[in-house]
Amino acid sequence: MQPNMKMLLAVCLLIFLASQNAHSKNTEAHLEPLVNKVEDKVIAWRRHFHQNPELSNREYKTAATIAKHLRSLGIEVQTNVAHTGVVGILKGGKPGKVVALRADMDALPVTERTDLPFASKKTTNYAGSKVGVMHACGHDTHVAILMGVAEVLSKVKNGLSGTVKFIFQPAEEGAPEGEEGGAELMVKQGVLKSPEVDAIFGLHISSRTPVGMIGYRPGGIMASVDNFRIKVKGKQAHGSAPWDGVDPIVVSSQIINSLQTIVSRQLKLTRQAAVVTIGSIHGGIRSNIIPEEVEMTGTIRALDSAMRKKIHNKLRQLTKGVAESMDATVEIDLPWSSSYPITYNSPQLVKKMLPTMQRQAGKDNVILIDAITGAEDFSFFAEKVPGFYFFLGGKPANLPADKASAHHTPDFFIDESGLKLGVSTLTSMTIDYLNQ
């Protein structure tokens, strides 16, 4: 290439970048009053959903509220997707790509302990017990934020080059036993088709990340999850004569100890983290009777697909080996109640959207975070199309992180002043992606 041609291309590139920057600034100036105007609504919606939580695959009233709002904006609405899901389709004024935005809707069987004026008082029967129902993971904020984004984007749809698909998803916390649900069922039913989605964005509020901050990570950001169940079968006997039977409680204890060696001794942990946890163990009804059977349940978390597969193989091998060595038998269900892949952020999509996030929150407030061993069924969407999932700060600025209540706990709390950043960031990411 001749020197003068290189110079010409360089000048053209500088002009293009300058025009893009000017376009972004003009867009931000136009969006800011719209985002400011919707903030109070977002907070009101969040409080309504928080006070009226619904469990997985039972989000009937939540879905009805969402659908009514989307229709009021002139957005095409589909209901009863994957049981209670709602999908809205907003077509821009010009042709282009399709971007999906996802929010999860379900609450948890947790009894709220906060003193909020809009705290949940709802109760239900869950797994045979009367329990409270609470948005103890912030899904109420996710729904409210996406409703706000839908309102803002509906006001500027003529300037959009493409289509926005709003996905309000049920059962992220897992479908009830015997039912399908969540992102996996939505994908199976074709939510990423008609029109075909080119990219998908999602966020999660974080009770331990300060308000005004955003945490992101290219590649794997959240672990895979595989729940399992192990039934250990022995031979019942009197507690005074254990030699007459095969004690499944002792066998189970040996299995639990052996399973802990998978991560500590058989995985290369300098590559990625992994977890094997036994969460429940049940067997026996009386102090002097050795039972016939013990049931254990647990969870496997992995951030590497090869390590995930190795854990599965080793769990089966060790469990059967220990049981056989002690004259017991086992039944293994793996996966059992839930199985999500690794939540993977497309590095190319992250790179493209990072300047947008930094523009919204400020460069110093957008931080690269370590991957976490929590899991998210957003992963099913990101398996099919490029995805970007990030964390939005919800911790009060003056509260030490170690004093902030964790997700899935009765004292879970979110500072609502952080919701506005969620609206502006998702809105700007959508516009920038489509108009690029």
DSSP states of 322-365: HHHHTT-EEEEESS-S-EE--EEE-HHHHHHHHHHHHHHH-GGG
* Residue 340 appears among annotated catalytic residues: yes
**Of 180, 292, 295, 416, which is the active-site residue?**
416
Half-sphere exposure of 153 (CA within 13 A, CB side): 35
Residue 302 CA to residue 374 CA, distance in Å, equals 9
DSSP-based three-state secondary structure for 238: strand
* Residue 295 appears among annotated catalytic residues: no
- Phi, psi angle pair for 44, to nearest 5°: -65, -45
DSSP states of 139-199: HHHHHHHHHHHHHHHHHTGGG-EEEEEEEEES-TT-PPTT---HHHHHHHTTTTTTTTPSE
- Phi, psi angle pair for 158, to nearest 5°: -65, -25
Give Cα 210 to chain centroid, integer Å: 19
SS3 of the chain: helix, strand, coil, percent, to 5: 40, 30, 30
> Strands 387-395 and 199-210, how do they pair?
parallel
**Of 112, 184, 340, 376, which is the active-site residue?**
340
- Rg over alpha carbons for the chain, rounded to the nearest Å, is 25
- Phi, psi angle pair for 245, to nearest 5°: -135, -170
DSSP states of 252-277: HHHHHHHHHHHHHHHS-TTT--EEEE
Contacts of 421 (CB under 8 A, 6+ apart): 211, 212, 214, 360, 361, 392, 393
Beta bridge partners of 94: 161
Cα distances from 187 to residues 194, 216, 381, in angstroms, run: 12, 24, 7
Please give the positions annotated as active site: 340, 416
